[in-house]
Amino acid sequence: MTAILENLSEEARNAIISAGHTRTFNANAEVFAEGEKAEFLPMVVTGRIKMVRYPEPGKEIIIGMFGAGEVFAIPPALDGKRFPASAIAMEDSRLLLLPRDKFLALKDRFPEFSSLILEKMCGLLRERSETIQILATSSAEQRVAATLLKLAGEIPPNGVKKITHRRQDIAEMSGLTIESTIRSIRRMAKNGLFKIVHGKIHIADTEPLQRFIR
């Protein structure tokens, strides 16, 4: 059962699980390709999925990353058009695939499910706006800073956010080479924007990063 369904009624939850089917994808396997017609709504049960675009040969830009309990590719599943990006398993992952016709019927049948989908879609739209902001940023360091802010989210008082993403992931989210990303991270850490502990980026306060990209 995916975490996204935990707040739904038992009736709605059982109906959705029964209507879909689970499928396992090995690491680096393609869930769907950019341009394919959207025939299902994907939900991550376990593992991690990234949505990517390839603006030119050999260059990959991550436009979204999704973990257990998350749903993605909602707009194309709603309108039945083509997927605007490819989805790739970042590790061995299991997905619940809900056929589009059943997805639409269940959305109409259960208002609570419809509200949940609307909430998730708003979140996806905000993420797309953040991605556009990152790619529109001029310098490599500012791009990396904007990506780290996105990954850090809200940091509680006296808390520290540990960024567990690989440097490669950060590079692809920033639209940069891994070499440029590594150099940028080292320079920003040296300037005190965050700390690197055992190879992981630790952010205790997002304000320095926010000031850096202004």
Tell me how many domains the chain contains.
2
Residue 81: CATH number of its domain:
2.60.120.10
Structural domain including 9 reads: 3-131
50 and 83 in a single domain? The answer is yes
Q: What is the pLDDT of residue 30?
A: 96
Tell which of 103, 131, 159 closes a domain. 131
14 and 120 in a single domain? The answer is yes
Is residue 136 predicted with pLDDT exceeding 60?
yes
Give the span between the Cα atoms of 87 and 147, in whole angstroms: 19
Other CB atoms closer than 10 Å to residue 114's CB: what's the count? Answer: 14
Other CB atoms closer than 10 Å to residue 9's CB: what's the count? Answer: 12
pLDDT confidence of 2, banded at 50, 70, 90? Answer: low
Structure tokens that stand for 90 in this block: 């970042």
67 and 143 in a single domain? The answer is no
Q: What is the pLDDT of residues 51-102, one digit of tens each?
A: 998 877 777 788 888 988 889 999 999 999 999 999 999 999 999 999 999 9
118 and 190 in a single domain? The answer is no
With beta carbons less than 8 A apart as the criterion, state whether 74 and 117 touch. Answer: yes
Tell which of 131, 160, 184 closes a domain. 131
126 and 195 in a single domain? The answer is no
Q: Rounding to the nearest 10 degrees, give the CA dihedral for residues 88, 116, 122, 169.
A: -30
Phi and psi for 112 in degrees, rounded to 5? -65, -35
34 and 78 in a single domain? The answer is yes
Higher-confidence position of 11 and 61 = 11
Is residue 45 predicted with pLDDT exceeding 90?
yes
Residue 146: CATH number of its domain:
1.10.10.10
Give the span between the Cα atoms of 94 and 72, in whole angstroms: 14
Residue 157, C-beta contacts closer than 8 angstroms, at least 6 positions apart: none
Q: What is the pLDDT of residue 138?
A: 67
Give the span between the Cα atoms of 146 and 106, in whole angstroms: 37
199 and 146 in a single domain? The answer is yes
143 and 73 in a single domain? The answer is no
Query: Rg of the chain's alpha carbons, rounded to an integer?
Result: 18
44 and 145 in a single domain? The answer is no
